[in-house]
Amino acid sequence: MQIFENKKVLLIAPYFRHYHGKIINSIKELGADVKYFPEVINNKLFTNIRHKTFSPLNKSLDTLYFKYILSEVKENEYDIFFLVRGELINEVFLKALRKKLKSTTFIMYQWDSLIHNDYLSKIKYFDKVLTFDKKDAKNIGIEYLPLFYTDEYEKLANISSEKKYDIVFYGTYHSDRLKIIKKINQICEKNNLKFKHHLYTGKIYKFKLWIKGELSKRDLFFLKTHTVSLKEMVDVYSKSRSVLDIEMTNQTGLTIRTVEALGANKKLLTTNKEIVNSELYDKSYVYVLDRDDLHIDTEFLKMELYDRGKYKNLHINNWIKKILNT
Closest CA to 185 of 175, 176, 196, 174: 196
Query: Is 52 in the same domain as 117?
Result: yes
Rg (CA), the chain: 21
Residue 186 domain-assigned? Answer: yes
What one-character DSSP code corresponds to residue 130? Answer: E
Cβ atoms 314, 259 nearer than 8 A: yes
Cβ atoms 52, 26 nearer than 8 A: no
Residue 1 domain-assigned? Answer: no
Cα distances from 324 to residues 21, 52, 82, 296, 314, in angstroms, run: 17, 37, 8, 40, 15
Residue 212 domain-assigned? Answer: yes
Check residue 1 and give its pLDDT. 65
Domain membership of residue 107 as a residue range: 8-148+315-324
Q: Which regions in the chain score pLDDT beneath 50?
A: none
- Helix, coil or strand: residue 110: strand
Cβ atoms 177, 171 nearer than 8 A: yes
Check residue 50 and give its pLDDT. 58
Residue 3 domain-assigned? Answer: no
Residue 217 domain-assigned? Answer: yes
Query: Is 25 in the same domain as 90?
Result: yes
CB atoms within 10 A of CB 236: 17
Query: Is 219 in the same domain as 278?
Result: yes
Q: For residue 162, how many C-alpha atoms fall within 13 Å in the half-sphere facing its CB?
A: 1
Query: Is 80 in the same domain as 226?
Result: no
Check residue 118 and give its pLDDT. 94
Q: What are phi and psi for residue 237, nearest 5 degrees?
A: -55, -40
Query: Is 158 in the same domain as 304?
Result: yes
Sheet holding 267-270, edge to edge: 223-224, 195-200, 165-172, 240-245, 267-270, 286-288
Q: For 265-288, what is the HEC assignment?
A: CCEEEECCHHHHHCCCCCCCCEEE
Query: Is 290 in the same domain as 175?
Result: yes
Check residue 104 and give its pLDDT. 98
What share of the chain in percent tops pLDDT 70? 95
DSSP letter string over 151-205? HHHHHHHT------EEEEEEEE--TTHHHHHHHHHHHHHHTT--EEEEEE--HHH
Check residue 193 and give its pLDDT. 97
Contacts 24+ apart (CB under 8 A), 114-119: 114/139, 114/140, 115/250, 115/251, 116/248, 116/251, 117/85, 117/87, 119/86, 119/87
Check residue 51 and give its pLDDT. 54
Where are the alpha helices (H) located in the chain, listed in sequence order?
Answer: 19-29, 44-52, 55-71, 91-100, 134-140, 151-157, 177-190, 203-211, 217-222, 230-238, 256-263, 298-302, 316-324
Query: Is 256 in the same domain as 319?
Result: no
Tell me how far apart the alpha carbons of residues 189 and 165 are, in angstroms, rounded to a whole number.
12
Check residue 326 and give its pLDDT. 77
Query: Is 190 in the same domain as 134?
Result: no
Domains identified in the chain, total number: 2
Buried b (16+ CB within 10 A) or exposed e, 72-87: ebeeeebbbbbbbbbe
Buried b (16+ CB within 10 A) or exposed e, 217-230: eebeebbbeeeeee
Provide the angle, in degrees to the nearest 10, between the axes of the packed helices 55-71 and 91-100: 10
pLDDT tens across 175-207, in order? 899 999 999 999 999 999 999 999 999 988 898
Query: 10 has which bridge partners?
Result: 35, 81
Query: 144 has which bridge partners?
Result: 131
Cβ atoms 145, 131 nearer than 8 A: yes
pTM of the full predicted structure? 0.91
Query: Is 96 in the same domain as 84?
Result: yes
